[in-house]
Amino acid sequence: MIRKTQAQKVIKFVRNLLFGVLFGLILVLTISVISTRVSGGEPQLFGYQLKTVLSGSMEPTFETGSLIVVKKVLQNEALQVGDIITFRKDEQNLVTHRIIEELKTGTATSYVTKGDNVEDADPTPVLADNIVAIYTGLTIPYAGFLLSFASSKIGTGLLLLIPGILLLIYAAFTIWQVLKEIDGKTHSDNKASL
């Protein structure tokens, strides 16, 4: 009897832990997608941003579809050869490549960049003012595909709908278990009174 009670407690703890982790993950993803949609940008928390890798130019450092964590570059932050930076290629496009050379002309600094999987350097040096962020070293493989899908209209709808359905299923399961326990106690009480 004692073993059964302990086993039930362990199962209940594991079930609640898994539910909490799943619910927390869905909640974080939902908040991330909603904040992205509202801001029109990419998810950001405490000065760190998540960027989706859209091309293979930096393979094998990070694979296409991965999420990378970058940190906003401060105005006077020293960058060096070997750093991986995210910079504004033009008004619409951001690129993440490695610095291979620093160029100083008077008071202006610019950087020659190159993708790890590309033979030639980028054609135009990057002005320090166009650098948006620096790579922190944290990569989440293939999570970019999930974030891109979650940011789509269908993905956002599913991300808002799925947690509600999961909560309803969990509530129904919990109610069913409580009713089963009550029925078991009532049934055992009826046997005891006979």
Residue 115: its pLDDT value, please? 92
148 catalytic, yes or no?
no
Q: Is residue 168 one of the residues assigned to a domain?
A: no
Q: Is residue 134 one of the residues assigned to a domain?
A: yes
Radius of gyration of the chain (CA): 26
Q: Is residue 180 one of the residues assigned to a domain?
A: no
The tens place of each residue's pLDDT in the chain, 194 residues long, gives 456 678 778 888 888 888 788 777 777 766 766 666 665 556 666 778 878 888 888 988 888 888 888 998 877 678 889 999 999 888 888 899 999 999 888 888 889 999 998 899 999 999 888 898 999 988 888 877 777 777 677 877 777 787 778 778 878 888 888 888 787 776 666 665 55
Q: Is residue 176 one of the residues assigned to a domain?
A: no
56 φ, ψ (degrees, to nearest 5): -95, 15
Q: Is residue 190 one of the residues assigned to a domain?
A: no
pTM for the predicted model, two decimal places? 0.61
Q: What domain range is 80 assigned to? A: 2-160
DSSP letters spanning 41-100: S--EETTEEEEE--SSTTTTTS-TT-EEEEEEPPTT----TT-EEEEESSSS-EEEEEEE
- Bridge partners of residue 109, in order along the sequence: 104
Catalytic one of 32, 35, 39, 55: 55
Domain total for the chain? 1
The CATH number covering residue 39 comes to 2.10.109.10
